[in-house]
Amino acid sequence: MPYRAVVVGASGYSGAELLRLLAGHPAIEVSAATSREFAGADIATVYPNLAAYAGRSFVALDEADLEAADIVFLALPHGASMAVGAPLAAAGGRIVDFSADFRLADAGLYRTWYGAEHSAPEWLGKWVYGLPELHRDQIRGAALVANPGCYPTAATLALAPLLAAGLIEPAGITIAASSGVSGAGRGMNAGVHFSHVDASVKAYGLGTHKHTPEIEQELSIAAGAATTVTFVPHLVPTARGLLATCVARLAAGATAASVRDAVAERYAGEPFVRATPSPPETKYVSGSNGAHVHATADERTGAAIVVCAIDNLGKGAAGQALQNANLMLGLDETAGLTAGGIYP
Amino acid sequence: MPYRAVVVGASGYSGAELLRLLAGHPAIEVSAATSREFAGADIATVYPNLAAYAGRSFVALDEADLEAADIVFLALPHGASMAVGAPLAAAGGRIVDFSADFRLADAGLYRTWYGAEHSAPEWLGKWVYGLPELHRDQIRGAALVANPGCYPTAATLALAPLLAAGLIEPAGITIAASSGVSGAGRGMNAGVHFSHVDASVKAYGLGTHKHTPEIEQELSIAAGAATTVTFVPHLVPTARGLLATCVARLAAGATAASVRDAVAERYAGEPFVRATPSPPETKYVSGSNGAHVHATADERTGAAIVVCAIDNLGKGAAGQALQNANLMLGLDETAGLTAGGIYP
Amino acid sequence: MPYRAVVVGASGYSGAELLRLLAGHPAIEVSAATSREFAGADIATVYPNLAAYAGRSFVALDEADLEAADIVFLALPHGASMAVGAPLAAAGGRIVDFSADFRLADAGLYRTWYGAEHSAPEWLGKWVYGLPELHRDQIRGAALVANPGCYPTAATLALAPLLAAGLIEPAGITIAASSGVSGAGRGMNAGVHFSHVDASVKAYGLGTHKHTPEIEQELSIAAGAATTVTFVPHLVPTARGLLATCVARLAAGATAASVRDAVAERYAGEPFVRATPSPPETKYVSGSNGAHVHATADERTGAAIVVCAIDNLGKGAAGQALQNANLMLGLDETAGLTAGGIYP
Amino acid sequence: MPYRAVVVGASGYSGAELLRLLAGHPAIEVSAATSREFAGADIATVYPNLAAYAGRSFVALDEADLEAADIVFLALPHGASMAVGAPLAAAGGRIVDFSADFRLADAGLYRTWYGAEHSAPEWLGKWVYGLPELHRDQIRGAALVANPGCYPTAATLALAPLLAAGLIEPAGITIAASSGVSGAGRGMNAGVHFSHVDASVKAYGLGTHKHTPEIEQELSIAAGAATTVTFVPHLVPTARGLLATCVARLAAGATAASVRDAVAERYAGEPFVRATPSPPETKYVSGSNGAHVHATADERTGAAIVVCAIDNLGKGAAGQALQNANLMLGLDETAGLTAGGIYP
């Protein structure tokens, strides 16, 4: 009998992507998909791509029996998630949370970067940070998993192996990352108007993006030392796709070859992360849970350069959430996630 | 034991898309993938999205044992396919041919529209035209199937139900269709340079596109009367996606409601074709084998308007080829084809 | 001393494009640019591309002295324009109106297609329809000009020469047109979200688009007989660009050569309209006031095919408005409009 | 009487963009436009956007009288340009060279980065580097100007003011830049196929791009000290537009406010460079000669962040070449370059 999943906030881009993936999952079925905006509407009418859900409707949150679910995916915005997640956690629920609400172990960092008090600080530090390539053993069998942000996923996959191996310095790291527009969600504002975004590229949130402390938390763990990053995200005219370009100082003795090899060895057995012989392109992982990483160095300037490509809605959100759920439920980690990227 | 498939011409866009689909197929495995250009190269290096094929290489055509295959997919250009397909057919092979070489029953039409003599005219009329929604019974168990062109798939799905029901006139049909650039294949020419195509739209092949006789052949069968179409294809700045907008004269008594209902009833039980309540958008079927059809009428001018959206590489090529193969092999028609469209 | 122009509704896409063009005009200066949303804001901050206006602010409508202007451009939405345009016309103003409010001569048609009563029906028929290639003599020196819609501009330029020459039948015309997203204006709705529009194409307003009666009005004049069209607009993933593909029945004796020649001769002396030897591409006229027209026929089916490409914000809106203003003011018709299209 | 210009290599993207700009120039006329590929073909047929050149043809290089020209623009590839430029320089010609052939003062650097011996090393150091905002006085009246590369233009405009003011350290600079596809030129290769580029982003040339020594040369001059940069270019799915994101260590005492002010003051009087209050977007300068620069700091990590947006074909190539020509000829620096960016 399949596991029953509830997807809360299923009409956002990440939630709908999870519905798409779950439609092909061999061991999990969707018992309810909630949406505040579209409760009562046929799922396949709101998202005509989700033909597998024709005849089923989104429901309101209070119509979904979260406690009866084997797993609950919370695909809610930051701030809204903790209000649902904290009581459900207290009730013993098994949860993958897409928001940032339970990612940071430190309530002070939450306050600083999110500009608000955390309403359930007692839960911080009790959720596992759901990046399986770093924390697989803890995720396996865990009940509470905080699914990483899209930028932190790419940046951490790129840099953690080199920090762990002592091949780069933990100070002076620069991360310039580019994301497709779906990363900003389904909400409307002038910044996502097609006529504005098309044929344009911009940087935003220079040094102030909320994903920064999350990146630093994970890199510091990997490095075993406090690590800070200067993070500059960019918006590029694609719907999906995220590329993180990371530049760090080479440690003494490190070379282009040693950083390349360290990444290749680190990910040799991973089902979703591949070390690629040339710099990755986001299109090759589009629609998939894949992450492509390429590491080299500019030995002339003493800089390691590591680039990681993911689909922000795949490995950067719904794909990774499902990977976490598979681990939590004791299923094959790749179940429902074997599809290759859509190319061209 | 799974069926063994050979994909000939597997490094073109349609062939590579078929590889992607076959990687997730429960009952067919790829025994060889041929490529003239990339023979010897690792498939996952040439197409990094095809991670499932890492460690396997494209092979030259003469290295592939076509006769030992349970099914051969010929994803070769027009003209090249008949040279492989005719002898293999004579040897009793089970073949799905992606090219136009065996689609037309009339060698004279081939000569007129393709500007060359057919080299194996004795085989014309012996291949089933592989549009399952029209010819399912013939395809089931057939050995030789000619996979339809992308434009003919969309145009025929749009118009055949109305012609069959006598709701539109077979004369004076206009088809204005738009295709993504992948429809032109992987080959390079100035017309597919990103800087040229991006932010632009054009019509081409006005009244002269090679898909015209194929559309007319199928519509004539559906109508039970000679049917001609004025066909104007367009190129739009997307990689995938094909939309056919068809305008025809309403037959006496036909209305917006009757054409809408006729299409809805015709496709009620179909696994891949959906009658949609509003005009379809190609993105909703991107990466899938779906076809979305919407029919209405401008009663003021006496015109039926039917619009059909497909992915030119999905239902317009590789998806439909796999649907045909499933039928030919006696498998579940939807095997390996259940993924929803990638949205956004 | 330059003419003083007021641009009302200058912060919409069409208004802002007019500001861009007027910045380079040798004989017209902008005395005021009004905006409800941005009154008080620096123009070059709202539109950083309009660097020439740095230091000048948008003003509220009641702060602009319309009556002191030599010419007023009303770039307001349908319905809103008549409320400003009617009293200003009564006061003797010289006006180019971008909206549909004064384009139709028949108040009944306005009611039918716009779903509302016209508030100033006494003015209908007193404005010149501002398509210079058809009505240049009337526009020259006129005080009141209704600037055509984007689709009607392209469709009329394509078809009027053939109707006037009796080379096509006035019945049974089909127009399938594609527009960039800027044609829908700056307003936000789910349909213009980048993630929704990108990599997708759709038809909309099947047979019901408000531009239909305007097209028919002008084609009927050209034909000297009632002309109806089945009009199907499409949205394609570009910011700018509009392509109208028109299919009509050839009149007896008409051929591909005769329709090609008729269009070439008709536009031989025109400064902005060119008959092109191959089907036009919208990118070549992007940012310009150009229109490229290509006419041919599918003699096999008896259909003329005419394709016209414009920039919906150029010849389809602001460019044409300025062309009209030049004629009204007795200036060189091409003043401020000589820039070539932006390619690539 | 206007100055006579010859554009050599006028059918490439940069050359054609220069033709577009020159068509509107008040004091320069094009006496010849050469093209190896299109000699003899009508300019407006090859580039239908260049309607102003209808009736004029591209000519072969040996048909153009370079020595009779008042100014020659060499829009040839690297390597090819020196063969034309060196003898013409010796003959006393006035030249703006688009290639890299005369940008570097050091033949050794040329050999290292371009992988070939320079064929006219005696000319190195005798051409002025044509970035007017840094070298205006030398360009004014100069005969030989090497027009900067697109990336160096943006990176140097971003960083030079801060290096000159001592607000950032000359060591440890990272430049992550994104370019539209037209930057790669009109030539065809798999990397510019629309289906490959669309909806994708990638990094390339990690630490090895040929523009690196040019950036370092100019930044070293500005800093008055040897300056090295780790440079990572990216390709984004737009035709035009280039964004350079530069991260450098703040010098002692420098702050977000001081770097912002330094850039604002530096460019206060410049006609084409604007310090913007928020991070720039490439669309706002598309089609123009504008450069938008935004400087701030992540004081937490001690990093200055400076972002510069240009049109790679405008300020990054043809626009800047014309700005240089205006200075060389003693004309108004902005002649022919006043058009605002095309938005949306």
Cβ pairs bridging B and D (under 8 Å): 58
Out of D195, D203, D305, name the one closest to residue A207 (CB): D305
Interface residue of D193, D200, D236 to substitute, partner B, most B CBs within 10 Å? D193
CA distance A240 to chain B (A): 7
Q: Does one domain contain both D134 and D103?
A: yes
Any idea which residues of D carry the catalytic annotation? 150
CA C198 – CA A197 distance, rounded (Å): 10
Answer whether residue B228 is part of any domain.
yes
Q: Residue B150 catalytic?
A: yes
CA distance D318 to chain C (A): 13
3-state secondary structure of D314: helix
Amino acid A131 reads L
For the record, the structure tokens of D343 come out as 């938005």
Contact present, B316 and B233 (Cβ < 8 Å): no
**Which chains sit next to B, with 3 or more Cβ pairs under 8 A?**
A, C, D
- The answer to whether the Cβ–Cβ distance between D301 and A199 falls below 8 Å is no
The reported pLDDT for the residue numbered C238 is 98
What is the DSSP-derived secondary structure letter of residue D342? -
- The answer to whether the Cβ–Cβ distance between A13 and C195 falls below 8 Å is yes
- The answer to whether the Cβ–Cβ distance between D199 and A241 falls below 8 Å is yes
Q: Does one domain contain both B204 and B86?
A: no
CA C281 – CA C293 distance, rounded (Å): 10
CA closest to C185 among chain A residues: A195
This complex has an ipTM of 0.97
Q: What is the pLDDT of residues B188-218, one digit of tens each?
A: 899 999 999 999 999 999 999 999 999 999 9
Res B1 pLDDT > 90: no
Q: What is the pLDDT of residues B27-47, one digit of tens each?
A: 999 999 999 999 999 999 999
Residues of chain A contacting D295 with CB distance shorter than 8 Å: none
The reported pLDDT for the residue numbered C271 is 98
CA B46 – CA D58 distance, rounded (Å): 39
For residues C300-318, average pLDDT: 98
Tokens 């009620």 label which residue?
A: B268
CA A278 – CA A280 distance, rounded (Å): 6
The reported pLDDT for the residue numbered B80 is 95
Our CA angle for C143, C144, C147, nearest 5°, is: 130
Confidence of residue C313 (pLDDT cuts 50, 70, 90): very high
Q: What is the pLDDT of residues D37-62, one digit of tens each?
A: 999 999 999 999 999 999 999 999 99
Name the interface residues of B facing D (CB cutoff 8 Å): 13, 180-182, 186, 188-190, 192-199, 237-239
Q: Please enumerate in sequence order all residues whose Cβ is within 8 A of that of C41, keeping only pairs 6 or more positions apart, or say none.
A: C35, C57, C58
Res B273 pLDDT > 90: yes
Q: What is the pLDDT of residues B62-85, one digit of tens each?
A: 999 999 999 999 999 999 999 999
Out of C180, C238, C245, name the one closest to residue B203 (CB): C245
* Closest to B228 measured CA to CA, from B163, B150, B318, B306: B163
R_g over Cα of chain B: 19
For residues A300-326, average pLDDT: 98
The rounded percent of chain B whose pLDDT value lies above 90 is 99
The reported pLDDT for the residue numbered D1 is 84
The reported pLDDT for the residue numbered A1 is 84
CA A344 – CA B238 distance, rounded (Å): 10
* Cross-strand pairs, A309: A243, A292
The reported pLDDT for the residue numbered C194 is 98
The H or E element spanning position D212 is: helix D212-223
Contact present, C293 and C338 (Cβ < 8 Å): no
Residues of chain B contacting D191 with CB distance shorter than 8 Å: none
Residues of chain A contacting B236 with CB distance shorter than 8 Å: none
For the record, the structure tokens of A65 come out as 């029996």
Out of C181, C196, C199, name the one closest to residue A195 (CB): C181
Out of A207, A208, A247, name the one closest to residue D230 (CB): A247
Q: Does one domain contain both C171 and C202?
A: yes
Our CA angle for A338, A340, A343, nearest 5°, is: 165
Out of B50, B240, B340, name the one closest to residue A23 (CB): B340
Answer whether residue C341 is part of any domain.
no
Out of C203, C237, C283, name the one closest to residue B238 (CB): C237
- Residue-level length of chain A: 344
Taking the model in full, what pTM does it have?
Answer: 0.98
Res C1 pLDDT > 90: no
CA C133 – CA C267 distance, rounded (Å): 8
Q: Range of B227's domain?
A: 151-312
Q: Does one domain contain both C159 and C277?
A: yes
Answer whether residue B335 is part of any domain.
no
Q: Does one domain contain both C91 and C22?
A: yes
Q: Does one domain contain both A256 and A323?
A: no
Answer whether residue A300 is part of any domain.
yes
- The answer to whether the Cβ–Cβ distance between C338 and D52 falls below 8 Å is yes
Residues of chain A contacting D294 with CB distance shorter than 8 Å: 206
R_g over Cα of chain D: 19
3-state secondary structure B115-166: CCCCCCHHHCCCCEECCHHHHHHHHCCCCEEECCCHHHHHHHHHHHHHHHCC
The reported pLDDT for the residue numbered C217 is 98
Contact present, A310 and A323 (Cβ < 8 Å): no
Out of B182, B192, B199, name the one closest to residue D239 (CB): B199
Which of B150, B158, B162, B168 is catalytic? The answer is: B150
Cβ pairs bridging A and C (under 8 Å): 58
For the record, the structure tokens of D33 come out as 């436009």
CA distance D23 to chain A (A): 25
* Cross-strand pairs, B245: B176, B307
Q: Does one domain contain both C142 and C157?
A: no
Q: Please enumerate in sequence order all residues whose Cβ is within 8 A of that of B135, keeping only pairs 6 or more positions apart, or say none.
A: B128, B129
CA distance C216 to chain B (A): 12
3-state secondary structure of A224: coil
Q: Does one domain contain both C195 and C273?
A: yes
Contact present, B249 and B144 (Cβ < 8 Å): no
Confidence of residue D95 (pLDDT cuts 50, 70, 90): very high
Q: How many domains does chain A have?
A: 2
CA D260 – CA D293 distance, rounded (Å): 10
The H or E element spanning position B82 is: helix B80-90
Answer whether residue A65 is part of any domain.
yes
- The answer to whether the Cβ–Cβ distance between B296 and C206 falls below 8 Å is yes
- The answer to whether the Cβ–Cβ distance between D49 and C286 falls below 8 Å is yes
Q: CB atoms < 10 A from the CB of C26, how many?
A: 10
CA closest to B178 among chain C residues: C201
CA distance B26 to chain D (A): 29
Residues of chain B contacting D181 with CB distance shorter than 8 Å: 193-195, 198
Amino acid C141 reads G
- The answer to whether the Cβ–Cβ distance between C344 and D182 falls below 8 Å is yes
Q: Does one domain contain both B56 and B136?
A: yes
* Closest to B85 measured CA to CA, from B3, B138, B183, B6: B6
The reported pLDDT for the residue numbered A217 is 98
Q: Does one domain contain both A98 and A65?
A: yes
Answer whether residue C336 is part of any domain.
no
Q: In what order do the strands lie in the sheet with C95-97?
A: C28-33, C3-8, C71-74, C95-97, C144-146, C128-129
Contact present, B199 and C240 (Cβ < 8 Å): yes
Q: Does one domain contain both B37 and B165?
A: no
Q: What CATH number does the domain containing A73 carry? A: 3.40.50.720
Answer whether residue A336 is part of any domain.
no
Name the interface residues of A facing B (CB cutoff 8 Å): 13, 16, 20, 23-24, 45, 47-52, 54, 182, 198-199, 239-240, 274, 276-277, 280-281, 283-288, 290, 292, 338-344
**Which chains sit next to C, with 3 or more Cβ pairs under 8 A?**
A, B, D
**Which chains sit next to D, with 3 or more Cβ pairs under 8 A?**
A, B, C
Residues of chain A contacting D236 with CB distance shorter than 8 Å: 178, 201, 236-237
Answer whether residue A33 is part of any domain.
yes
Q: Does one domain contain both D219 and D135?
A: no
> In terms of DSSP bridges, do strands A202-203 and D71-74 run parallel, antiparallel, or are they unpaired?
unpaired
Q: What CATH number does the domain containing A176 carry? A: 3.30.360.10
CA C322 – CA D283 distance, rounded (Å): 24
